[in-house]
């Protein structure tokens, strides 16, 4: 197997010195001045060490210096260097170029160490073409493409390299607007999906692997479609679960945006809040279909800000349909859903318990908290 | 060997399970070989009897003889004896890790009783006057379970817990139908840590199922239930204590909320081993319940063969019980099948009566005080084991941070820390444990809300030394996970647990013929 490794050496440097992310050269200089040291290379080494320890066999393709080569050499691996950054001060463009080069060389998986920004760059370069896995090394980890630790990344990867793990899941790539974030505001966007190795052991045991969460998601989508009412506007939020609903209906959809359908037809794709308010005003009967986003389980306020507090109020809280498979609920590890709309009173109203459609004639009652999660 | 060594446990380092590399029985033998060759009937008999197949409709006759294994008697004996040596059965290995299943001692004397010709020579279709003894036993055991649960009548027809729960769901529906509300009340509420049959059984007869998720203390909050109930609520189907071993202290409030909404409450007593003689379903307000005789009442587990889901109801619901019921008119016992409100037969006959006999014998041997003592001992064993397990590096008790109260008869633990620190997962630990001659543990029902779960239930019949041995095996494997994870991840090394056929999970085959078909298609 051919493994590509991209290390974003500056990822995570801001965190230790109280900066929120390291996007932008000025911030990096600021971080260095404040005494920040790179942490991503060491974390990449920890993952590689795990692979070496379990005796996994692989060919390693990486970038020169701190972008991967150094991490490999630190655990006595001899990688093939396939990309050299122009300057020691690496940029997002370096990550993207390296990822494209690795796709060209047909690597089986791109392993990258960094944060949300790095995940975005990998996604922008190769999208869903090449499986990928993140080693968490950034300040911000909102994306679901990262293993929980460098060691866990090694564990997962060992399973992948040995062919024990062949299933992929689509995991959200999310990032915040860093400028706003440094001012203390949190606005997260969903940028797309990377294909990540999926180890059912993490959430599901060997006993039910035959009935994967994929099957459950398909059944869930079918039941939602089967129960759709006529002359009712459906505002469909982003997410793989909701996209499946659109696909099942044979409709075009935007992966990251909010789409609107009526009587089995697309009314509008990738709408903004303003459009939503207008459409909802014109249609007395409307529903919102949302699924929790990312590993933190946000229903509103992350990745779907178009469905603002005003939109939810216009549609009516009782017309919010939350969909999630039991596996997705289990993956939240007991944490409640979160809501963080621009309407604090609405957030308080939504807090408590909400009914979640989990399958055909199956519902769960799940807790909803409110607030900005672990944004601070 | 685990003998008294002054508190120090000596593990079975030299254990090795018999490995026979035994083929499937369909792969053994040779065409034409026979275990039994019946004598020729002879001309006279043949002419007397005539064409024995003549009365069988043509459409029901086989066109070709079945493809059965063809073996001699000794081959058959050796085959099954070898297979029996390749399992860590209840009578061989300490088997206290299968939480939610209550693997307690199955008294051998009760096997002798149940194999008496007085029972084995009975037929379900015999005239009532000739089976007064077994009818009396069924009737009296129903009275005993009524006393234990506070219910008024029992049936032993359901052949397992899920059938008992199905009987409860059917009676729930029949009750609402009698009130003209069958179509309105189409929702059953359960909890994610209740046994899965509480969701599955009502779903099979068309109920919509609403599942409550646990709050911070490990059981659902009352407000979650209040969010779930409505005029559509048919009832609540719940296990308590749940599979975490946590007893929902608000259970009476739960029942009240559901009753206020017009629903009924069914108590799945699969986890009753810690509450026998301590608390009763009816006293918490429940309308119906079901016990698994193959768990709590010492009957061996039997793959739906020997199991019994003893199902009881309070008096207002007796009309809905499955038919027939066993009745007593003061002088004789009889079967009553003319019960128009009944949900009908759940299965043929009166159920697995040989298992009811074993449960009856167990209860009679213990008496009321003995049952209570068994429950207390089961809870004591569990909490003794919990103290040992939670001291093991990498292990933790689920919900312990928010809910430090003692667990009842079982507990759900997590290897989350072990997995994060060593990459060794719960199934790896399971596979390594059996190298030390103890039965592996149960992880959890699905979905896994507790990460890297394992669920232990040391029933009352295990000794302190056996609990110590089991804990010592877990501790040893956890130590190995930190020092030598590959040994754990590649286990078992001294056992015969079979690796699954690749891709079998995507293409399950329930019969040999189906498996051959998949193999022909190249799918497995």
The residues of chain B scoring below 70 in pLDDT are: 1-7, 303-305, 498-505
More confident residue, A88 or A108: A108
Residue of A nearest to B422 (CA): A151
Q: What is the mean pLDDT of residues A13-26?
A: 63
Evaluate if residue A372 carries a pLDDT over 60: no
Helix B161-178 to helix B197-204 angle, to the nearest 10 degrees? 50
The 8-class DSSP code of residue B444 comes to -
Evaluate if residue A375 carries a pLDDT over 60: no
Q: How far is B487 from chain A (nearest CA, A)?
A: 11
Mean pLDDT for all residues in chain A: 85
Q: Are A107 and A96 in contact (CB under 8 A)?
A: no
The 8-class DSSP code of residue A263 comes to T
The pLDDT, as a whole number, for residue A201 is: 52
Q: Do B227 and A204 touch (CB under 8 A)?
A: no
Structural domains of chain B ordered from first start: 114-362 (3.40.640.10)
Nearest-by-Cβ selection for B505 from A54, A209, A330:
A209
Q: Do A154 and B423 touch (CB under 8 A)?
A: yes
Buried b (16+ CB within 10 A) or exposed e, A309-346: bbbbbbbeeebbbbbbbbbbbbbbebebbbbbbebeeb
The 8-class DSSP code of residue A15 comes to G
The pLDDT, as a whole number, for residue A18 is: 58
Q: Are B397 and B407 in contact (CB under 8 A)?
A: yes
The pLDDT, as a whole number, for residue A11 is: 85
Domain locations in chain A as residue ranges:
2-198, 210-370
Evaluate if residue A202 carries a pLDDT over 50: no
Distances (CA, A) of A313 to A199, A260, A262, A345, A346: 39, 17, 19, 11, 8
Integer Cα distance of A366 and A297 in angstroms: 11
Residue A180: which pLDDT band, with cuts at 50, 70 and 90? low
Contacts of B451 in chain A (CB under 8 A): 202-203, 333
pLDDT tens profile A287-328: 999 998 766 788 998 778 889 999 999 999 999 999 999 888
Beta strands A109-114; A132-136: pairing state: parallel
Q: Do B224 and A353 touch (CB under 8 A)?
A: yes
First to last CA, chain A: 40
Integer Cα distance of B201 and B304 in angstroms: 15
How many pairs of residues across A and B have Cβ atoms under 8 Å apart? 101
The pLDDT, as a whole number, for residue A167 is: 77
The 8-class DSSP code of residue A83 comes to E
The pLDDT, as a whole number, for residue B434 is: 93
As to burial, measured by CB atoms within 10 angstroms (0-12 exposed, 13-18 middle, 19+ buried), residue B102 is buried
Evaluate if residue A204 carries a pLDDT over 70: no
Q: Output the CATH code of domain A2-198.
A: 3.40.50.10330
Whether B465 and chain A come into contact, CB under 8 Å, resolves to no
More confident residue, A86 or B342: B342
Q: What is the ipTM of this complex?
A: 0.88
CA atoms within 13 A on the CB side of B355: 28
Residue A181: which pLDDT band, with cuts at 50, 70 and 90? low
**Token reading at B198:** 């509480």
Contacts of B448 in chain A (CB under 8 A): 203-205, 330
Q: Which residue, B299, B297, B288, is CA-closest to B321?
A: B288
Whether B199 and chain A come into contact, CB under 8 Å, resolves to yes
Q: Which residue, A38, A31, A7, is CA-closest to A17?
A: A31
Integer Cα distance of B521 and A117 in angstroms: 46
Q: Do A204 and B210 touch (CB under 8 A)?
A: no
Evaluate if residue A6 carries a pLDDT over 80: yes
Mutation for A interface: B400, B414, B447, B497, most A CBs within 10 A: B447
Write out the residues of chain A at the interface with chain B, using a CB-CB cutoff of 8 A: 50, 54-55, 148-149, 151-152, 154-155, 158, 201-210, 326-327, 329-330, 333-334, 352-355, 358, 361-367
Mutation for B interface: A214, A356, A367, most B CBs within 10 A: A367
Whether B451 and chain A come into contact, CB under 8 Å, resolves to yes
Residue A51, Cβ neighbours under 10 Å: how many?
22
Number of helices (H), then strands (E), belonging to chain A: the values are 14, 16
Residue A212: which pLDDT band, with cuts at 50, 70 and 90? low
The pLDDT, as a whole number, for residue A156 is: 87
As to burial, measured by CB atoms within 10 angstroms (0-12 exposed, 13-18 middle, 19+ buried), residue B219 is buried
Residue of A nearest to B191 (CA): A364
Contacts of A365 in chain B (CB under 8 A): 210-213, 220, 224-225, 227-228
The 8-class DSSP code of residue B315 comes to G
The pLDDT, as a whole number, for residue A376 is: 28
Distance of CA A99 to the CA centre of its chain: 18
Q: Which residue, A42, A158, A74, A142, is CA-closest to A109?
A: A158
Q: Are B193 and B244 in contact (CB under 8 A)?
A: yes
């Amino acid at each position: 197997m051919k493994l590509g490794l991209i290390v974003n050496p500056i990822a995570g440097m801001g965190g230790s010195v109280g900066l929120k992310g390291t996007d932008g050269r000025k911030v990096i200089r600021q971080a260095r001045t404040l005494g920040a040291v790179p942490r991503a290379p060491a974390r990449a080494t920890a993952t590689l060490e795990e692979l070496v320890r379990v005796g996994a066999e692989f060919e390693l393709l990486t970038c020169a210096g701190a972008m991967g080569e150094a991490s490999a050499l630190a655990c006595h691996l001899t990688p093939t260097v396939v990309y050299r950054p122009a300057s020691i001060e690496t940029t997002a463009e370096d990550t993207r170029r390296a990822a494209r080069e690795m796709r060209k060389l047909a690597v089986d998986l791109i392993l990258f160490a960094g944060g949300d920004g790095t995940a975005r760059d990998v996604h922008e370069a190769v999208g869903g073409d090449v499986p990928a896995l993140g080693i968490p090394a950034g300040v911000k980890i909102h994306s679901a493409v990262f293993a929980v630790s460098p060691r866990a990344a090694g564990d997962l990867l060992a399973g992948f390299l040995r062919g024990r793990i062949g299933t992929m899941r689509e995991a959200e790539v999310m990032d915040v607007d860093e400028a706003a974030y440094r001012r203390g505001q949190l606005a997260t966007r969903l940028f797309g999906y990377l294909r990540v190795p999926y180890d059912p052991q993490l959430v599901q045991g060997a006993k039910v692997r035959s009935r994967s969460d994929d099957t459950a998601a398909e059944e869930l989508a079918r039941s939602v479609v089967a129960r759709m009412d006529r002359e009712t506007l459906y505002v469909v939020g982003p997410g793989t679960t909701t996209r499946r609903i659109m696909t099942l209906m044979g409709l075009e959809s935007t992966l990251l945006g909010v789409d609107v359908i009526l009587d089995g037809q697309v009314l509008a794709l990738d709408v903004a809040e303003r459009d939503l308010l207008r459409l909802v005003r014109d249609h007395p009967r409307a529903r919102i279909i949302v699924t929790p986003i990312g590993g933190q389980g946000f229903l509103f306020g992350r990745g779907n800000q178009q469905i603002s507090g005003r939109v939810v109020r216009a549609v009516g809280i009782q017309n919010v349909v939350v969909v999630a498979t039991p596996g997705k609920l289990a993956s939240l590890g007991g944490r409640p859903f979160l809501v963080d709309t621009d309407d604090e009173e609405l957030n308080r109203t939504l807090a408590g318990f909400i009914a979640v459609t989990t399958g055909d004639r199956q519902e769960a009652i799940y807790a909803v908290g409110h607030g900005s999660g672990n944004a601070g | 060997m685990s003998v008294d060594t002054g508190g120090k446990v000596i593990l079975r380092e030299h254990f090795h399970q018999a490995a026979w590399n035994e083929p499937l029985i369909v792969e053994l033998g040779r065409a034409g070989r026979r275990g039994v060759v019946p004598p020729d009937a002879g001309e006279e008999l043949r002419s007397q009897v005539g064409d024995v197949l003549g009365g069988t409709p043509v459409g029901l006759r086989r066109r070709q003889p079945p493809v059965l294994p063809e073996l001699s008697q000794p081959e058959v004996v050796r085959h099954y004896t070898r297979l029996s040596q390749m399992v860590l059965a209840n009578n061989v290995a300490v088997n206290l890790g299968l939480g939610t299943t209550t693997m307690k001692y199955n008294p051998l004397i009760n096997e002798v009783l149940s194999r008496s010709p007085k029972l084995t020579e009975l037929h379900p279709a015999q005239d009532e006057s000739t089976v007064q003894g077994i009818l009396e036993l069924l009737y009296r055991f129903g009275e005993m379970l009524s006393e234990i649960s506070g219910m008024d009548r029992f049936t032993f027809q359901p052949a397992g817990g899920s059938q008992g729960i199905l009987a409860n769901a059917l009676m729930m529906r029949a009750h609402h139908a009698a009130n003209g509300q069958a179509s309105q009340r189409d929702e059953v509420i359960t909890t994610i840590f209740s046994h899965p049959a509480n969701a599955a059984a009502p779903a099979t007869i068309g109920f919509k199922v609403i599942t409550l998720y646990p709050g911070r203390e490990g059981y659902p909050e009352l407000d979650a239930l209040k969010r779930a109930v409505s005029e559509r609520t048919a009832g609540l189907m719940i296990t308590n204590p749940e599979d975490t071993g946590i007893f929902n202290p608000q259970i009476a409030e739960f029942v009240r909320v559901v009753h206020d909404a017009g629903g009924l409450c069914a108590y799945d007593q699969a986890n009753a081993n810690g509450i026998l003689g301590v608390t009763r379903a009816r006293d918490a307000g429940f309308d119906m319940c079901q016990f698994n005789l193959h768990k709590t009442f010492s009957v061996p587990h039997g793959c739906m063969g020997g199991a019994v889901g003893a199902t009881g109801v309070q008096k207002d619901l007796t009309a809905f019980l499955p038919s027939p019921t066993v009745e007593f008119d003061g002088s004789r016992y009889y079967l009553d099948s003319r019960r128009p409100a009944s949900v009908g037969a759940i299965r043929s006959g009166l159920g697995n009566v040989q298992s009811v006999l074993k449960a009856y014998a167990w209860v009679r041997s213990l008496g009321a005080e003995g049952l209570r003592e068994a429950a207390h001992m089961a809870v004591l064993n569990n909490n003794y084991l919990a103290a040992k397990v939670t001291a093991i590096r990498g292990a933790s008790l689920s919900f312990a941070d928010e809910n430090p109260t003692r667990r009842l008869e079982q507990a759900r633990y997590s290897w989350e820390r072990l997995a994060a620190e060593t990459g060794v997962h719960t199934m790896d630990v399971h596979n390594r444990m059996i190298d030390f001659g103890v039965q592996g543990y149960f992880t959890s029902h699905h979905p896994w809300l507790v990460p890297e779960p394992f669920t232990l239930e040391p029933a009352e019949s295990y000794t302190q030394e056996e609990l110590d041995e089991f804990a010592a095996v877990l501790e040893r494997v956890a130590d190995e996970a930190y020092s030598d994870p590959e040994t754990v991840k590649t286990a078992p090394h001294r056992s015969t647990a079979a690796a699954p056929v690749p891709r079998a999970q995507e293409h399950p085959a329930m019969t040999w013929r189906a498996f051959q078909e998949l193999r022909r298609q190249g799918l497995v």
